[in-house]
């Protein structure tokens, strides 16, 4: 069975927790786009916290993890992430982490250019846009190429740096040197604890074999629909296809998904700049931010908060065609007198809030009537059933609904 988890808003919907729940029923967990701009926080029932950026979170459960060709990778950052996870006792070996030889490398000049240029969009400064720019311009370096002959790499970087340094100087930055870049790369490649070279493989083939063996595969989206390069709030978007199509281009697997779970936070947040029609730039927004812990997992930036926007979610439903929805952070809305929802026609609906703490509830029937009404309204408007409702950070703080059964085949 092939399952996908996709963010339906501007990212940070709480995909990490849902992926963590679904990983139990899957053999492989796959990233297909984005890079270390993403940040997934996983909290175990014992309260142990892990923050993952590029490595799929299934690694915590000893699952086989794949980083597909559509991902951009900063090899130095990846080493740090792997080392940190290993220090927390997580086993990461070439037997459970597979990196596509065709994934694009985030080079040091991409980081410099992003920092000098990404302010308008409010990027994460991780070199994502510049790395994808080079991929599309056919001037990128792929992971497999890092292990080509040193001479080839030196010539390629030398040629590329002439252009990059011009751009960096024009933007007021310090030019880089090929010798330093090569030295750092060599050090990474030769780090025997890191084993970068051993992780790199033909991931399309790895996944194809797994499909032939009827293994269960979970495709884990990063960011969300409204940050999609084609369908999001351009130019205030990320540089990859965060919606369903990205799964196929980002892995080389054409087979259809058996189940897509769309992740919808019970309210809306966005980090970085750009339009946000339901933004609450007031005390209420501030209280949602505090209660929901709405600070970026990657950059620590405060997230902008606002009401649910069904008009935009309708678009996400069209693009992602979810079979079910996971509604996250419903508990953050506890205690509100009323909840506003931007409806598909563009007007506002006001729904009554609930005064009960729902974080300890595990059964749908125990939810306050107004919370049920809110969920029902959402599901009816979007015409998608709900499979899960998250009422707290921990994995056990989850309410499963009827359509969840379809995910456990």
250 versus 379: smaller Cβ distance to ligand IMP: 250
Where b means 16+ CB within 10 Å and e means fewer, 297-333 reads bbbeeebbbbbbbbbbbebbbebbbbbbbbbbbbbbb
Token pair in block for residue 101:
């030889």
Assess whether 12 carries a catalytic annotation. yes
Considering the complex, what minimum distance in angstroms separates the CB of residue 315 from ligand IMP? 17
Tell me how far, at minimum, the Cβ of 308 lies from ligand IMP, in Å: 17
Q: Which residues contact 90 (CB under 8 A, 6 or more apart)?
A: 50, 59, 60
Least distance (Å) between residue 38 CB and ligand IMP: 4
By beta-carbon proximity to ligand IMP, the closer residue of 53 and 164 is: 53
**Considering the complex, what minimum distance in angstroms separates the CB of residue 79 from ligand IMP?**
20
Using CB atoms within 10 Å of the CB of residue 151, give its burial: 0 to 12 exposed, 13 to 18 middle, 19+ buried. Answer: exposed
Closer to ligand IMP by Cβ: residue 210 or 264: 264
Nearest distance from C-beta of residue 271 to ligand IMP, angstroms: 4
Q: Which is nearer to ligand IMP, 236 or 354 (CB)?
A: 236
CB of 238 to ligand IMP, least distance (A): 3
Cα–Cα nearest to 270, from 317, 305, 246, 313: 305
Residue 37 or 251: which CB sits closer to ligand IMP?
Answer: 37
Q: Is the dihedral of CA 318, 320, 321, 327 positive or negative?
A: negative
By beta-carbon proximity to ligand IMP, the closer residue of 238 and 403 is: 238
Picking from 96, 10, 99, 19, the residue whose alpha carbon sits closest to that of residue 296 is 10
Taking a C-beta distance cutoff of 8 angstroms, is the pair 52, 82 a contact? no
Beta strands in 69-199 (DSSP E): 72-73, 97-100, 104-105
Nearer to ligand IMP, 129 or 285 (CB): 129
Residue 173 CB partners (closer than 8 Å, separation 6+): 112, 113, 115, 116
Shortest Å distance, C-beta 268 to ligand IMP: 12
Residue (216 or 298) nearer to ligand IMP, CB: 298
- Both tokens of 376, joined, read 């029902």
Q: Which residues bind ligand IMP (CB under 6 A)?
A: 10-12, 37-39, 121-124, 126, 128-129, 222-223, 227, 236, 238-239, 271-272
Residue nearest to ligand IMP (CB): 272
**Cα Dmax for the chain:** 68
Residues 6+ apart with CB under 8 A from 365: none
Q: How far apart are the first and last CA of the chain?
A: 8
Residue 322 DSSP code: -
Smallest gap from Cβ 284 to ligand IMP, in A, equals: 21
Residue 216, both tokens: 């269960």
Among the listed residues 20, 40, 114, 231, the single catalytic one is 40
Q: Is 380 exposed, middle or buried (0-12, 13-18, 19+ CB in 10 A)?
A: exposed
Phi (first) and psi of residue 400, to 5 degrees: -100, 135
Kindly list the distances between the CA atom of residue 224 and the CA atoms of 55, 231, 233, 328, in Å, as whole numbers in the listed order: 18, 10, 11, 14
Q: Which residues carry out catalysis?
A: 12, 40
């Amino acid at each position: 069975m092939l399952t996908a988890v996709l963010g339906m808003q501007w990212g940070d919907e709480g995909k990490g927790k849902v992926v963590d729940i679904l990983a139990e029923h899957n053999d492989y967990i796959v990233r297909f786009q984005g890079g270390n701009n993403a940040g997934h926080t996983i909290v175990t029932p014992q309260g142990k916290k892990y923050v993952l950026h590029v490595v799929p979170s299934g690694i915590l459960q000893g699952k086989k993890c794949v980083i597909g060709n559509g991902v951009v990778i900063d090899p130095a950052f990846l080493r740090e992430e792997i080392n940190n996870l290993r220090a927390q006792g997580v086993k990461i070996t070439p037997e459970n982490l597979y990196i596509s030889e065709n994934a694009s490398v985030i080079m040091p000049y991409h980081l410099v250019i992003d920092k000098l240029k990404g302010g308008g969009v409010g990027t994460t400064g991780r070199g994502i846009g510049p790395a994808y720019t080079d991929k599309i311009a056919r001037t990128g370096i792929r992971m497999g190429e890092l292990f080509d002959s040193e001479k080839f790499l030196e010539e390629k970087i030398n040629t590329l740096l002439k252009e990059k340094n011009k751009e960096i100087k024009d933007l007021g930055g310090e030019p880089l040197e090929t010798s330093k870049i090569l030295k750092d790369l060599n050090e990474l490649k030769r780090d025997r604890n890191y084993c970068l070279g051993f992780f790199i493989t033909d991931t399309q083939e790895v996944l194809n074999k797994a499909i032939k063996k009827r293994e269960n595969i979970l495709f884990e989206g990063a960011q969300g629909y409204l940050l999609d390069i084609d369908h999001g709030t351009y130019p205030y978007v990320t540089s990859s296809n965060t919606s369903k199509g990205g799964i196929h281009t980002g892995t080389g697997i054409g087979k259809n998904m058996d189940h897509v779970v769309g992740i919808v936070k019970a309210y809306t947040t966005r980090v970085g700049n750009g339009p946000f029609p339901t933004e609450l730039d007031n005390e209420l927004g501030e209280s949602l931010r505090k209660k929901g812990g709405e600070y970026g997992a990657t950059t620590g930036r405060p997230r902008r908060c606002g009401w649910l926007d069904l008009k935009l979610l309708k678009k996400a439903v069209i693009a992602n065609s979810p079979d079910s929805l996971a509604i996250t952070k419903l508990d953050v809305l506890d205690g509100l007198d009323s909840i506003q929802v931007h409806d598909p026609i563009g007007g506002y609906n006001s729904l009554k809030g609930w005064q009960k703490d729902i974080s300890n509830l595990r059964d749908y029937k125990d939810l306050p009537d107004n919370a049920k009404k809110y969920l029902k309204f959402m599901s009816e408007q979007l015409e998608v059933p709900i499979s899960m409702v998250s009422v707290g950070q921990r994995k056990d703080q989850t309410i499963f609904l009827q359509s969840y059964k379809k995910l456990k085949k």
